[in-house]
Amino acid sequence: MKTDDWESWQWQLSNSIRNLEDLKKELNLLEEEKIENVSTLPILSLRITPYYLDLIKKNPILRRTVVPTKYEFDVSENESTDPLDEDKYKHGCIVHKHENRCLFLTTIQCASYCRYCTRSRLVGGIKNYIKKDWDDGIKYINEHSEIVDVLFSGGDFFMLSNSNIAYLLNKLNKISHINILRIGTKMPVFLPQRIDNELINILKKYKPFINIHVSHSSEITDEFIEVCNKLSVDANCILGSQTVLLKNINDDTKILQELFNKLLKNRIVPYYLYQMDRITGGEHFRIDLEKMIEIMHQLISWNSGRVIPEFVVDSEIGKVPLRYGYIEKNNNGKYNLTSFEKNKTIEY
């Protein structure tokens, strides 16, 4: 499938797989992947870049992360289209859930669509955010001096044009009470070609913290390493990683150990390991919390501290670390999770 345009990120996006008919030409679909109409999927539609499609052909374990299956139609108890309760704290494109920091939703587009996406209710939709939405968001942040930390996400922030990325970083950088700018992205994994020299020069000026969503060591390719080197060395950005624990993909101590060591070797600090959010139709990805705790204990026993991310359950009350004082098993065989604010507890 590789062509002369392979290194063009615009070509990659315009030639992404968007329907099952095109996917059938590239992959022999498994029985559980034979869905009559992608538009009937309860969470989100289909999108895979040619780059990532080539990667999953070589590494079949990655296939389930982006190829939809019939299991997505199985909705379990306690699942939600908005498992983090973000809409409750939404002000246009700003999610102000925690007092001193906010989430800035800049786009609803991603280079490829993760089948376990927390914001599947938004991602890949029709109505995208526009400049007026961004300006309203900037105004909101300007008027809330308690906000010192802004996370750009979406969708994927790097789906924006370089000029729009520069515009947003410049506007937020000028707000006196903002100390930290962060970017959440999976672009080095799905579309490393997007991290071009112009973007590197923009990032070099503002030096945001960049957290990269990486699921498996198979995603750490030569292309991935090259662009992450540019981000950390040329743009002088601090890089971290965020990984979601996924059943039969990376729910294994040895797999995670390899992943976290590879990341750190390339100057990417393992930051968070998430229990998979309770998104609608995502039960087939979710592991038991007992197993997550077991994996955590094994990783801590076998590795140095720099390789160990924070183990967290993200929920409607915020991120709950798997530490004493935050998590406690109750008499129902479930867990009581308590937020950092110490006044919010849920049963999990």
- Asked, for residue 327, whether it belongs to a domain, the answer is no
CATH label of the domain that carries residue 65? 3.20.20.70
pLDDT digits (tens, 9 = 90+) for 154-200: 999 999 999 999 999 999 999 999 999 999 999 999 999 999 999 99
Of 111-125, 196-210, 329-343, the poorest mean pLDDT is in 329-343
What average pLDDT does the segment 245-265 reach?
Answer: 97
Write down the pLDDT at residue 341: 67
- Asked, for residue 227, whether it belongs to a domain, the answer is yes
Q: Map tokens 């289209």 to a residue.
A: 81
pLDDT digits (tens, 9 = 90+) for 11-54: 999 999 998 899 999 999 999 999 877 777 767 789 999 999 99
Write down the pLDDT at residue 72: 92
Residue 276, domain extent: 9-316
- Asked, for residue 285, whether it belongs to a domain, the answer is yes
What average pLDDT does the segment 72-79 reach?
Answer: 89
Helices 162-173 + 131-143 axis angle, to 10: 10
Of 3-17, 37-51, 273-287, 333-347, the poorest mean pLDDT is in 333-347
pLDDT digits (tens, 9 = 90+) for 200-213: 999 999 999 999 99
Question: Across-strand partners of 209?
Answer: 182
Question: Across-strand partners of 269?
Answer: 240
What average pLDDT does the segment 73-99 reach?
Answer: 93
Determine whether 239 is exposed, middle or buried from the number of CB atoms within 10 Å of its CB (0-12, 13-18, 19+): buried
- Asked, for residue 252, whether it belongs to a domain, the answer is yes
Q: What is the pTM of this model?
A: 0.93
- Asked, for residue 347, whether it belongs to a domain, the answer is no
Count of the separate structural domains present in the chain: 1
- Asked, for residue 120, whether it belongs to a domain, the answer is yes
- Asked, for residue 337, whether it belongs to a domain, the answer is no
Write down the pLDDT at residue 12: 97
Q: State the average pLDDT for the chain.
A: 93
The answer, yes or no, to whether residue 227 has pLDDT greater than 80, is yes
- Asked, for residue 338, whether it belongs to a domain, the answer is no
